Amino acid sequence: MIAVASAPGKVILFGEHFVVYGAPAIVTAIDRRAKVTVERRDGNAIKIVSDLGIAGSFDDERYKSIIGGPRTREKLEPIRIAAREVLEDLGIGGGLDILVRSGIPAAVGLGSSGAIAVATVAAVGRLFGRKLSREDIFRLSYEPEKFVHKYPSGIDQTISTYGGAIRYERDKGTKPLRVKRPLPIVIGNTGILRRTGDLVARVKRWKGENQEHFDQLMKEAQRISELAVEALMREDLLELGLLMNENQRLLDTIEVSHPMLDKAIEAARKAGALGAKLTGGGGGGCMIALAPLDKIEAVVRSLEKVVEPIAAKTTKKGVISLSF
């Protein structure tokens, strides 16, 4: 038997960084997905092949690289952890062949590791004839995300599991947002890889040196996210665009933008985007632009000169799995 599962990546529409200090963030799943295929194999080894061009095999704590050398372990370990979590939860042993194909670029803030973890958990569950509940998939995806992000807020695995859009607030948790139609967005990938943790530390320093100013920005961030929730419900793209621009101004002030992000944001706005901002940790990674449908192509063409454009739609579709 073979089991397959796929899960979506995400973009943060509003509230990154300020969410760390208690402001709400708005996050949505996108129609870029990670797909994981699993099959049983003899013995106890978990063999993982990834379309990043790397492969390796875990036999208990021993790791053997098949393609890419010993440093591939760090990249494949979270996938092994995801599979192990399910096997332990179901009280099952045995070997696995895992194939990962991801349409979500890695390390640029689009939630690729979360989507891979969620899809791996769902696929392994399916292989053993269990259609895990979404709550179980979410719970079992925590350990692999912890391995990658150290202190994950849980946003990525939530959105990859459930799909759709959510309002996330540190102390109040997650609230699903019923957005009727997909939002027309374009993602621009600078290709500059960065670690979210480094950017979070940079903001912490900035906050320490500019406490009063930061408090004021927090209030603005809070207001922007609240207004954005209402605008999303009304499908008011014009207002959403304006709020994105305002949000970008705050992110620029706390110094998490990057000249390439600024250039791409400017290019998108000039080509007719209603709003544009960085998405995720910043310092490189990706930006997003919201554009009316008839301007999407112009925005893509304009972004092409600066970054790699990724046309994407927001989606309601969370994790799905099947076996045959």
Binding residues (CB under 6 A) for ligand PMV: these are: 12, 16-17, 19-20, 109, 153, 196, 199-200, 280-281, 285
Helices (H), the chain: 73-90, 112-127, 134-140, 142-149, 155-162, 196-209, 211-234, 237-253, 259-270, 296-304
Nearer Cβ to ligand PMV (32/295): 32
The alpha carbon dihedral of 127, 128, 133, 137 has a sign of: negative
Q: Residue 136: exposed, middle, or buried by beta-carbon count in 10 A (0-12, 13-18, 19+)? A: middle
CB nearer to ligand PMV: give 16 or 85. 16
Two structure tokens written together for 201: 């530390």
Active site residue 156: yes
CA neighbor of 2 nearest in space, from 101, 93, 119, 124: 124
The answer to whether 160 and 112 are in contact (CB under 8 A) is: no
Render the burial of 10-36: b for 16+ CB within 10 Å, e for the rest.
bbbbbbbbbbbbebbbbbbbbbbbbbb
CB of 111 to ligand PMV, least distance (A): 6
Q: Closest distance between ligand PMV and the C-beta of residue 131, in Å?
A: 29
- Show the tokens assigned to 229: 């929730």
Question: Helix, strand, or coil here: 239?
Answer: helix
Closest to ligand PMV by CB, 20 vs 260, is 20
Q: Considering 59, 89, 136, 156, which one is annotated as catalytic? A: 156
Q: Which CB, 282 or 309, lies closer to ligand PMV?
A: 282
Residue 202 beta carbon to ligand PMV: minimum distance, rounded to whole angstroms: 10
CB of 27 to ligand PMV, least distance (A): 9
- Under 8 Å between Cβ of 275 and 305: no
CB of 199 to ligand PMV, least distance (A): 6
Q: Which is nearer to ligand PMV, 105 or 318 (CB)?
A: 105
DSSP string, 111-174: -HHHHHHHHHHHHHHHHTT----HHHHHHHTHHHHHHHHSS--SHHHHHHHH-SEEEEETTTEE
Facing residues of 111 across strands?
Answer: none
Q: Which residue minimizes CB distance to ligand PMV? A: 280
Least separation in angstroms between CB 316 and ligand PMV: 20
The residue among 183 and 199 lying less far from ligand PMV, judged by its C-beta, is 199
Report, as residue numbers or ranges, the catalytic residues: 156
